[in-house]
Structure 1
Amino acid sequence: MAKPPLSMKPTGWFQVAWSDEIAVGDVRTMKYFGQEMIAWRAESGALTVMNAYCEHLGAHLGYGGTVHGEVLQCPFHGWQWNQQGRNVCIPYEDRPNRGRRITTYPVIERNESVYIWHDTENREPFFDAPDVFAGFADGSTAADYYPQQRLFRQGLEMHPQYVLENGVDFAHFKYVHNTPIVPVFTRHDFDDPVSYVDFTITFEGDDGQRIEDVNSGVEAINGGLGIAVTKSWGMIDNRTISAITPVDESTSDVRFMVYIGRPAGEVRDPARAAAKAGEFGAEVIRQFSQDIHIWAHQRYSDPPALAGSELQGFTAIREWAKRFYPDGRGGSAAELAAHTR
């Protein structure tokens, strides 16, 4: 992949793990945004994500660090650090070192996922991470769906913005996913950091269909560049979550999750219904994998040679994306109109 002109350190919420990967007492190592990090869960269940190195002599807390109640103890000299990254105990001294602090990250657990807030200017979160159920305000909860199915791909040469731009790319559905017709977008709302995209689409039928006859579609909520959640309607009930997190200056980790709705009412054969849900979830993941195959080998085209019908969507989403790049490396969306054909 040619290195994109976009910064790999955008602002926003980004997934660094799944919640069930970090049990009470666990210390998990990770690397994101070029920084070695750890996540650890205290006895109370509270989760902390912080930079990995002890401020004393630089030991990596992810290799031998241990959780003691509500603090993390360094394996080298036993210094203890609290959930705010402050030293609270030096076992061979009368008082802690109050002048040093390990960088910690705002963290929330939602969608069975662990999200951290990343911002190179150290601003507090100015928008919320979307919830795949509550975000659509229809009263649904995880109890209405079969267990989450997951995909995890590490270290791919791709940028999070590729995935968000896919949300306005109506033409790719027919050629990547073999939909019988090209979908029609009914909503593009990019006024705020959390944006909304709705479109009418079907995955069944043939080329003879008319969009006017399609009674199914997708609603999407984009929480910045790092997280997107979707809800389907008029087809098999499914919700998805895609989360793309930069690892370093050229690669990202990709996580994708899907929930398949449980049948309403009494089910005659629960095992068969669960198996069918598993098969459909696997198909949704397969289709997302088709996109990953493109993104992982894509070159960011700036400005792109757009067809006229593509201009509105791509202009809107690239202008929207600029707000997440404090360093200004957010592309040149203003030039798009000059390069359509």
Structure 2
Amino acid sequence: MAIDDDVREIENAGNPKRFARGWHCLGLVDEFRDGRPHQVKAFGTSLVIFDTPEGLRALDGYCRHMGGNLANGTIKGDSVACPFHDWRWGGNGRCTGIPYAKRVPGVAKTRAWPAMERNGQFFVWHDPQRSQPTDTVTIPPIPGWDAGQWSSWSWQKFEVNGAHCREMVDNVVDMAHFFYVHMAFPHYFRNVFEGHVATQYMHSRPRPDIDPEKSYGDEDSILRSEASYYGPSYMINPQQLEIGGQILDAVLINSHYPVTDNSFIINFGVATKRQEGVTAEAARTVADSLTSALSYGFGQDLEIWRDKARIDNPLLTEQDGPVYQLRHWYEQFYVDIEDVTPSMTERIEVEIDTDHAVTSWKREVAENLLATRS
């Protein structure tokens, strides 16, 4: 049998075994501020998160004495105490006391992870080279957050098994999937990559041929979105929704952290800007409604990610967006700092012509509506 040399084969080099350098959001601050230590499985290991007078702290999850799980222990003063022998560990990683011992060994130190609280969320810094984070790669504050100008977070968490978190980052440039997965018409779509930031600008309308409960508005609504990844895993997405003559400002957080090289956790939430005459309860209700609509799309994403092939050589059209450029930008977080090249961080701008796609999609939606009515 002759071999067809024209057949396109899928290339798959496998998931990287190292984890990305950068800040990773582990969840809301309030999740960890309940007087107990918490276990978080991330980066192929286990962490313990606990509260101190100086704020939340993160340590390696297992006691350096005999391997007890610190998350099963208790918080005593400003330290987490191991349930096995009561060795106590401070937020800086040093052993602060061993009640039954005359002295603490000078080498009694565990790994303390660089940590930060921002926007009501808790972050840890990961780097295989153990570098310290700098201000040039920090997570920016959401304007007005600390001043109480936003509702509380409407927050959800998803676990994705059998996929690498690159699948999620690819969405930054994937214009077409917003129609098929997130039930929206993107009619403006542009990407800008520069430094450690990758941004997606999108204007869209909801699809009128879907269940209204899965949508963020009617077909006359307009969503203006500016979504920026700051580093490999944390996106801040300010959104302005025009619906029924009203304009609503919201912010979406779309973040993840790896559990293993083949699984990750998604943390995402929505907060709405407080408006004059709108109560905190009303603002939270709107945030919950947006979260419900967005979580439907995420659910669709999850089903695809869990059962798709990793593909390193995607076959693209000009309407598919700058996938290869985005992946080259993303590569900077998986190499040593000294191996980051200028081409990974230089400014790139790509705007997609959406006219043909929108025309085609309008025809498909009209056919769906006609079939529903008949």
TM normalised by structure 2 equals 0.74
Residues 59-118 of structure 1: CA distance to partner in whole angstroms, max 9, x if unpaired?
22122x222211222222222221111123232334311213211211112232221111
Q: Aligned pair 1:83/2:88, yes or no?
A: no
Task: Report what 1:256 is aligned to.
Answer: 268
Q: Is the 8 A contact 1:24 1:45 kept in 2?
A: no
Q: CA deviation at 1:218?
A: 0.7
Q: Is the 8 A contact 1:197 1:221 kept in 2?
A: yes
Q: Is the 8 A contact 1:8 1:248 kept in 2?
A: no
Shift of the 308–39 alpha-carbon distance from structure 1 to 2, 3 Å rule, reads: same
Q: CA deviation at 1:318?
A: 0.8
Task: Report what 1:70 is aligned to.
Answer: 78
Q: CA deviation at 1:272?
A: 6.4
Given candidates 105, 112, 133, the residue that maps to 1:97 is 105
Segments of 5+ residues of structure 1 without an aligned counterpart are 207-212, 335-341
Task: Report what 1:175 is aligned to.
Answer: 180
Residues 252-295 of structure 1: CA distance to partner in whole angstroms, max 9, x if unpaired?
11111111334x3325x986675455333322222333223222
Shift of the 292–143 alpha-carbon distance from structure 1 to 2, 3 Å rule, reads: farther
Q: Is the 8 A contact 1:170 1:183 kept in 2?
A: no
Task: Report what 2:157 is aligned to.
Answer: 152
Greater strand content? 2
Residues 165-191 of structure 1: CA distance to partner in whole angstroms, max 9, x if unpaired?
101111111222232x433223x3322
CA RMSD of aligned residues (A): 3.1
Task: Report what 1:298 is aligned to.
Answer: 308
Q: Look up the equivalent residue of 1:323 and give its one-letter code.
A: Q
SS at match of 2:107: coil
Task: Report what 1:325 is aligned to.
Answer: 334
SS at match of 1:56: coil
Task: Report what 2:170 is aligned to.
Answer: 165
Given candidates 85, 108, 119, the residue that maps to 1:111 is 119
Q: CA deviation at 1:195?
A: 2.7
Given candidates 18, 30, 34, the residue that maps to 2:28 is 18
Look at both structures and tell me which one has the larger radius of gyration over its CA atoms.
Answer: 2
Tell me, in whole angstroms, the C-alpha distance in 2 between the residues paired with 1:146 and 1:101: 40
Q: Is the 8 A contact 2:58 2:115 kept in 1?
A: yes
Q: Aligned pair 1:265/2:276, yes or no?
A: yes
Shift of the 8–238 alpha-carbon distance from structure 1 to 2, 3 Å rule, reads: farther
Q: Is the 8 A contact 2:225 2:239 kept in 1?
A: yes
Task: Report what 1:184 is aligned to.
Answer: 188
Shift of the 217–327 alpha-carbon distance from structure 1 to 2, 3 Å rule, reads: same
Segments of 5+ residues of structure 2 without an aligned counterpart are 1-11, 210-219, 243-247, 345-374
Task: Report what 1:337 is aligned to.
Answer: none
Q: Is the 8 A contact 2:175 2:319 kept in 1?
A: no
Tell me, in whole angstroms, the C-alpha distance in 2 between the residues paired with 1:118 and 1:291: 26
Q: Is the 8 A contact 2:271 2:284 kept in 1?
A: no
SS at match of 1:243: strand
Tell me, in whole angstroms, the C-alpha distance in 2 between the residues paired with 1:228 and 1:76: 39
Task: Report what 2:39 is aligned to.
Answer: 29
Identity %: 26
Tell me, in whole angstroms, the C-alpha distance in 2 between the residues paired with 1:143 and 1:270: 10
Q: Look up the equivalent residue of 2:261 and give its one-letter code.
A: E
